[in-house]
Each structure stands twice: as structure tokens, then as C-alpha cells.
Structure 1
Amino acid sequence: MNIKKVDIFNPLILVILVLVYLLFSFIGFEFHLKELVGIHNYTLFVVFLGLMAYIIGFFISRYLLSRYDFEINESKLKSVTTEKVLLAVVILGILFQIINMIYLGGIPLFSGYLKAKAVTRIWLASYLLFLPSINLLLAKYDDKKYYLLFIVGLMLFVLTGYRTTAMAIVLSVFITVYYTKDLPWKYIIISLASIFLLLMVVGYVAVKSIEWQTWTLNPLELLFYRAGYTLQVLDHAVFMQHSTNGQLLYNTLMGFFKSTDPRVIVGSTTLGYAHSTTSTIFGPALLDFGLWAMLIQMFVLGFILKLFYDVQREYKSIFIGLYAMLLAHTIIWIETGPTDLVIFLFFIVSLILLAYSAHVKK
């Protein structure tokens, strides 16, 4: 096998990363970090079923794409993807985040109280504007000066104290660069190691800055603990299917405008007390609608990611940025679960852009 031809960001990377996440979880269980106790074997079986549904969606997408011939007319999207438009949206996203910091009156990364208030409507607008536009800008107009905007935006989102948004930005941009530049493997390895380090550092600093937090775990232990803890929440969800009866989906779509955090509902349901809690990529659908809903969700994700993967490989340009954005967030969902309105919007907008520019050949 020629390692240079291995595409590490094929959608099937999600399966490998879920297995790595399970490994991290079991390390946490083995060392009983903060009294982690483990999960039932049936939960592992449910995870396996979810991965199988994802793989089936991937291959059905590949089959349909090979059977039906279609082409993309990117010129239809020219008016909204010009360099000036994308650059303006990137700058606007950065300005919104600066305004959000001023509004908060401090740096949330160093204060648990500010972090609890950091996700405002201004923050939502900032993230919704910045992340897609910076990826599309770098994918279509590869200019070194735009990487400065990426760094500025990344630093601002790091200062909010939420590692998931910082990780989504850096991971999506790395995927974009991976497909737009012929990076040597040593740079790829260094970059991935740096992303992993960023994950640990931001997460550790954010946790240690929470005034009421008394944990004594080191950064690596914290990583293993978070994986084990989240998998234990999934374990509860597996045995509490249909408990929320659609509340999670409803509050994911509408809760932000009502100041309701779906993850608090996850915590209240699985733990018995109000606490913002993640339940892996499989948990929310199980709690809302049961096993079949989770399997459908995973099937759809596999189908969509394979669709965008093939499109970006053939047509490049903005479709690289769209795929990078979707894959990065799906990878992050491995821990957090699909309970974010903004990411649903990314999927919807990406599908609309693809559908608008696609044409099935007769």
C-alpha cells in the first residue's frame, strides 16, 4: 500500500475515530478516573449497530453516485462565493466575536461564570458567519494573507473557553488545507499532533478556570475521563430510550431562542439533575426516538458525507470547504452529539448549495 495515496479524511475515518474514542473511554474505566465504573456490553452492541448504519449509508451513497451521472455548475454560486463577499463575511464574523467579548466584559476562557454566558446570539451569528466563510475562502482563493484571519478568528473563539468550537475551526481548516495543498506526511503528522495538543490544553484550561471546579486530573487524564464519562452517559441513554420524546430535537432547533440547552436536558434525563452533559453521537436520537432513529441518523450522515466527499474530490473549490466543515463537526459530534442548531444549519445550507448547483445528466 502506498501511504501517500491514503486519504485520511475519507468519511470512514469517523468509524476509526469512534473506536479510538472507545479506547480512550476504557482507559478511563481501567484506572477508575473519578470513580468511572464502565458500561454494559449491550451499549457496545448499540454503538456497533450505529457504525454499521453509517457504513451502509456510505456505500449506498457510493452506489447511487456511480449509477446516476450528474454535474455541478459552480457558476450558479458565483455571486455568493466571490472573493470580496467571502472576505467580508469572514471579517464580519470576527467583528461579531469581538463585540461579544466586549459585551461579556472579560475572557470566558479564564472564568467559569463568563463562560456560562458566552454563547449569546452574537456568538451564534459570529460562528455561523466565520467558520463556513473562512473555509470557503481558503478553499477557493488560497492566499497566505487569509491565514492571518484564520488565526485571529481561532484565537477569539479559543478565548470563549469552548474547545469544541475551537476544534471545529482548526480541524475544518486543516481538512481544507489537506485537500488544497499537497502536504508532506511529516507536516500532516505535526499538524494532527498540534490539534490534539490544542484539544487538551484548551479543555484543561477551561476546566481549571471554573471557579467551583475541584478536579485534580492532569490534561491527559482529563481527556480519558471525559471520554469515559460521556460513554457512561450513553450507557444510561441506551437503557432510557424514548425518555425525552423529541424534546432534544425540538430544543436543538428552537431552544437557543428560548435559552434552553439541549445538553442540560440530556443531563437531567440520564443523571437525574440539571447538568450540561454530552452523550456521544448516538445518545440524543436514542433518548428522543429510540434505536431506529439513531440508525437512521447514522445512515443519513454516512450518505451525506460520502456525497460531499465525492463532489469535492471532483469539483474542488468551495466544495472542499463545505466537506471540511461538515466532516469536522461530525467528528466532534462523536463526543458532543448532534445537539447544536448552528451545525444543523451548516448541513442544510450545504445541501441547498449542492442541490442548487447540481444537474442530473439525461
Structure 2
Amino acid sequence: MDYKKLDLFTPMIVVLLVFVYLIFAYIGFYYHIRELIGVNINTIGIILLGLIFYILGYYISKHLLKNKELTINKPRLDKLTGKKFVLTLVILGILLQIINLVYLGGIPLLSGHLKARAATRIWLLSYLLFLPSINILLAKYNDKKYYLLFVIGLILFALTGYRTTAIAIVLSVLITAYYTKDLPWEYLILALLGIFLLLLIVGYVAVKSIEWQTWTLNPIELLFYRAGYTLQVLGHAVVLQGSTHGQLLYNTLTGFMKSTDPRVIVGSTTLGYAHSTTSMIFGPALLDFGLYAMLIQMLLIGFIIGVLYNIQKSLNTAFVGLYAMLLAHVIIWIETGPTDLVILLFFLIAIIIVLLTVKTKKGGNI
């Protein structure tokens, strides 16, 4: 069987991974890891509704692009994604991350105090430059020597202690390679196992290095606990719909200023005390504006991801890297939720590039 025919990284993988996440959470509930107690059926119903609207958004994108021929404005795309330009951005992103670590005066992965200060404006700019550029570089120019830059960047960003950043880099590059290289299935399985191990190691080292917390869980228990804990927080968000009145969105959009971390607001609202907490992809919109806002959010995410998926399947080139970058973050949002400015900026970059370089006309069929 040719696994390539399965197209593993369609937008529908998000739906599958949400169910995997729920299984992990229920393992945590079953064993009562750190006194996890579970959630009520209403929370599961909200999740299913959100997934239905995500799927609906994806199929709307397919319908709109059906019987359309996609063409590229090549001179404009080459100007935006030229090799020298993109390579410069990758190197600049790496250099800025080195400067950030020097500025912090240590390795945040090994210190909770440094990790709390690691997401500086320098970090935001370095990540904003590095991630889209490395994926575009590998997708459009597909040269093995550029994978060295990927490894260097991965190591530097992993040292900040943010497991989501490290996972996003690895996962997006894997998706890019999946669509641009003829990867044997053995390599794909090894890569997925590697991502899983990276998730365990970086997450475990990061929490063990937080000086003011005591953790007795092993890495596997920690994985199930985080899933169960996050699902329980979503359960609180379901009950407290609309209670933050847009604060999460406001503080996300003003993340480059001295605003409050949206995840701390999530913790304060759902748990009653200041604590950086995630509430799955569904939680922030529920807390800010209620059920209808969450459903609109899921519809829009499904639509945008669907458009990028169909464009990259039809046109390849740099659009593969853009799709890989966005899909990787939507997968990560399953746990964390859309509360990071830099990721919203990635969506904005992808949308602008598509609007400037892609044209549609009747007659073709994706």
C-alpha cells in the first residue's frame, strides 16, 4: 500500500488529533493522575460542535475552489520568496535568537525564572522571521544543505524551554518534507516518533526546571496529566462562557506590548488564581464571547487551512511551506488555543502572500 495516497496531512488530521487528545485526557482521568476528576458531557458536546464547524469551513473552501484554475503571478512570488531574500531571513532569525539567549544570560530550558522572561520582542521577531522562511526555503529550493539551518534553529528555539515552538519547527518542516520529498514510510514513522520524544523531553525538562514547582510525574504521566488538566480547564470555560469580555483577544493582539499573558487570564478566570493555563483550541473564544464566537472561529480556521491546502496541492512551491507552518500551529492549538500574537501574524503573512500571488479563473479543477 502506498501511504502517500493517504495524504496524511490534510486539514482533517486536526479532527483525528483532537480525538487522540481526548483519549490521552481520559487515560489521565481513569488513573486519577494528580487527582484529575474528568469533565461533564456538555464539554464533549461543545468540542464536537467545534469540530463540525471546522469541517464545514474546510468543505466550504473546497466548494469555492472547485472548478477553478489556479495560477501564480511568478514574478511577484519570486520577489517575495527569492532564495537570497528568504535565506537572509532564516539566518537573521537564527542570529536574533542567539542575541536573545545572550541577553537573557542563560538557558531558559534549565530555569523557570529565565523561561518566564524568554518571550521577548527579540524572540518574537526571530521566530516570526525564522519559521516561515525556513519552510519556504525548504519547500521552494529543496536543498539538503538548508536542513543544517533547520537543525541549528531548532536547537536554539528548544533552549528557550517552549516546547510548542520546538514542536512547531519540527512538525512544519516534516510536513514540508512530506509534500516535497519522496519520504519512505520508515523515515516518516521515525520522524513522528522523534517529534513525540521531543515533546516528552522538552516538556519534562522545562517543568522540572521550574524552581517553584515540585513534579513527581514521569514524562508519560505528565503527558496524560496535561491533556486531562487542559480538558478540565475547558470544562470550566464552558460554564464561564463570555466572562472575560474580549480580554483574551485584546491581550493576544497587544502581545508585543506589556500586556497580560492571555493564558494567565485563562487561569485566573477558570481556576480563580493567577496561573498560566491552556484551554484547548475551543476555550479562549468561549471565555471571551461565548459559543457562537467559538463556532465562527472554528469555521474560519477550517476555511483558511482548507484554502491553503488546496493551493499547495495545486501549485506546490512556497505554498507548501506556508501550509505546513499553519497546519503545524493549528495542531498545536489543540492544546494551547489561539492566544499567541506571532501565530496570528503567520496567518496574516500566508494570507497576504496568497492574495498577492494567486489568481483563480473558471475552467480548472483542483
TM interval, shorter chain, is over 0.9
Residue 36 (1) aligns with residue 36 (2): yes
1:120 is aligned to 120
Task: Tell me how large the CA RMSD over aligned residues is.
Answer: 1.1
Please tell me whether the aligned partners of residues 83 and 137 of structure 2 are also in contact (alpha carbons under 8 angstroms). yes
Match of 2:342 in 1: 342
| 1:96 counterpart = 2:103 | no
The 1:255/1:88 distance shift into structure 2, 3 A limit, reads: closer
CA drift at 1:359: 2.0
SS in 1 for 2:279: coil
Structure 1 residue 211: Cα displacement:
1.0
Give the letter aligned to residue 249 of structure 1: L
The 3 A distance-change label for structure 1 pair 260 and 309 is same
| Alpha-carbon distance, 1:2 to partner | 5.0
1:49 corresponds in structure 2 to 49
Q: Deviation of residue 142 (structure 1)?
A: 1.1
Q: What amino acid is aligned across from residue 310 of structure 2 in structure 1?
A: D
Greater displacement, 87-96 / 254-263: 254-263
**Aligned mates of 1:70, 1:100 — CA distance in 2:** 41
Match in the other structure for 1:142:
142
Indicate if the aligned counterparts of 2:70 and 2:311 stay in contact, CA closer than 8 A: no
Where do 1:208-247 residues align within 5 Å? 208-247=208-247
Deviation of 1:163 after TM superposition, in Å, equals 0.1
**Long gaps (5+) in structure 1:** none
The one-letter code sitting in structure 2 at the alignment partner of 1:96 is L
Partners of 1:121 and 1:259 lie apart in 2 by 12
Deviations 1:267-291 (A, max 9, x none): 1100101111000000000001110
Pair 1:142–1:67, CA change in 2 (3 A)? closer
Query: Match of 2:256, SS?
Result: helix
Within 5 Å, which residues of 2 pair with 1:1-362?
2-361=2-361
Report the number of matched residues. 362
Measure how far apart 1:74 and its partner are. 3.2
Report how far residue 256 of structure 1 moved. 3.3
- Contact (CA 8 Å) 2:263, 2:276: kept in 1 or not? yes
Within 2, Cα distance between the matches of 1:184 and 1:314? 22
Deviations 1:278-323 (A, max 9, x none): 0000000000111011011111111111111111011111000000
SS at match of 2:339: coil
Q: Which stretch shifts more, 140-149 or 229-238?
A: 140-149
Q: Distance in 2 between matches of 1:3 and 1:278?
A: 34
Q: 1:83 to 1:255 in 2, by over 3 A?
A: closer
Structure 1 residues 159-212: Cα deviation after superposition (integer angstroms, max 9, x where no partner): 000100000001001100010001111111111011001000100000111111
Cα distance per residue 1:144-166 (max 9 Å; x no partner)? 11111100000000100010000
Q: Can you give the 5+ residue segments of structure 2 that lack an aligned partner in the other structure?
A: none
Q: CA deviation at 1:68?
A: 4.1
Distance in structure 2 (CA, Å) of the matches to 1:190 and 1:61:
33
Q: Displacement of 1:116 after TM fit?
A: 0.6
Query: Matched residues, percent identical?
Result: 68
2: CA distance, partners of 1:316 / 1:299: 25
Q: Distance in 2 between matches of 1:79 and 1:3?
A: 35
SS of equivalent residue, structure 1 residue 256: coil
1:357 shift after superposition:
1.0
CA distance in 1, matches of 2:122, 2:334: 26
Please tell me the residue identity of whatever aligns with 1:103: Y
- Please give the TM-score of this superposition, normalised by the length of structure 2: 0.97
Query: 8 Å contact 2:100–2:120 — kept in the other structure?
Result: yes
